[in-house]
A and B are shown apart, each in its own frame.
Chain A
Amino acid sequence: MKALKLQWRQLFILLMIAITPQFLAAQSFFTKSKTFLQSKANGIYLFAGMDLAKQNIATGNYSSAFNYNLSNYNNNAFKPGFFAGLSAQTGNKKNHSYSFDFGVHRMSTGTNYKESVALQPFLGSYSNFKADNVFWMLNTAVHYKTVLNISDTSKFKFRLVLGPSIDTRLSKSSEDNMAHSNYHRFVLRGDIGLEFTNRNYYTFFLHYKQGISSFTAAPINTTLNSFDFGMLVKASDFF
């Protein structure tokens, strides 16, 4: 019995000796990985926030067999959605910097129909096109940022932000619009905004995005406009 106990002890010691190099290697790997992630994450920021979006719609001479009573669909309002994403920022050279943003937006849009059709003798205003009002979008943006000389820039920084962005529609369009392939997959927008950074702890931003290309196929012209406001924090704060 004593001999058996001794054998178990020897086996345990042998096992420990055998796995120690692997354990140390694994530990070293995780340490290196963490350092690597931290070094890479220095210029990487995470952002999240909410947006307010609206579609301005000019249907032109579009016609279809469908009619939609505009009293149910035309609200001319900005509606709220939300988003989150990653931002890769270049260094701050002479108060100028650039960022590459990738965000996923869940947009809920209001609709502003600029034209209507009549269905006389029925009363009311109608449209042959019904805008979709909920989209999942992948937003890719390149922003130029410059520090504005407002307040003490060593503590607080206000930045003006400018640049183009491309929204890729990830969600399917409604069947009403699938019937005539009304919605484009991509929409180009121009962004302008302000950012406020508090001692590099966090950044609040407010961007206005103006649709440049139409979100819908001709002859319908739809501009997608939105206000995005949210917060940016360094990804390294989370690693």
Chain B
Amino acid sequence: MKIKNNYFTIAFLFITGLSACSKNETAAELNVTKGMLSDKTWYLDYSVTNNVTKSYVGQTTYFINFLKNGQTKDSDGIIGYYAIQKPTNILQLYVNASTISGAPANYTYAIESVGVQNLILSYTKNGAKTQLYYSTK
């Protein structure tokens, strides 16, 4: 009987051990997002406001870099730090930077979609939503 109980205990521990994985889903999501975003130059290809699409493909366009160490700099000379967080159900990109003249340039974008080659950010200003479509070229 005791041996049988031991077998049950071992089987229970084995199954529990397999099932109990550490589930820090948000941390994993933030990590993957940062991995996809960082150490690349993102070029703005399109912007969409109120269903009106502007294309910048084939033109000298705005670009932004996100480095692994948390620094960011863009083609306008804005340099600072960025962070990715998920305070609600939406991933957000916070940029805390300053212009060449030293004026603060802080903004927050929603990350609608992120991949290895494509990034869609959005923000709402005066009730109008603007989506920014970036690619790595």
Contact surface of A with B, Cβ cutoff 8 Å: 65-69, 72, 119, 121-122, 126, 168, 170, 172, 175-176, 178-181, 185
Which one, B25, B111, B112, B113, contacts A180 given CB within 8 A?
A: B25
A156 CA to B120 CA in the complex, in Å? 63
Contact A119 B120 (CB under 8 A): yes
Contact B115 A68 (CB under 8 A): yes
Contact surface of B with A, Cβ cutoff 8 Å: 18-19, 21, 23, 25-26, 28-29, 31-33, 35-36, 45-46, 48, 53, 55, 90-91, 111-118, 120, 133, 135
User: What residue of chain A has the Cβ atom nearest to residue B26's Cβ?
Assistant: A179
Instruction: Tell me, rounded to whole Å, the shortest Cβ–Cβ distance linking A35 to chain B.
Output: 23
A and B contact pairs by CB, cutoff 8 A, 22 listed: A65-B33, A65-B112, A65-B114, A66-B32, A66-B33, A66-B36, A67-B115, A67-B118, A68-B115, A69-B116, A69-B117, A119-B118, A119-B120, A121-B55, A122-B133, A122-B135, A126-B115, A179-B28, A179-B32, A180-B25, A181-B23, A185-B19
Instruction: Tell me, rounded to whole Å, the shortest Cβ–Cβ distance linking A2 to chain B.
Output: 60
Given contacts A121-B46, A179-B32, contact A65 B111 (CB under 8 A): yes
Which one, B21, B32, B112, contacts A176 given CB within 8 A?
A: B32
Q: Which 6 A-B pairs have the closest CB atoms?
A: A179-B29, A67-B115, A179-B28, A178-B28, A67-B113, A175-B28
Contact A66 B115 (CB under 8 A): yes
User: What residue of chain B has the Cβ atom nearest to residue A68's Cβ?
Assistant: B115
Instruction: Tell me, rounded to whole Å, the shortest Cβ–Cβ distance linking B112 to chain A.
Output: 7
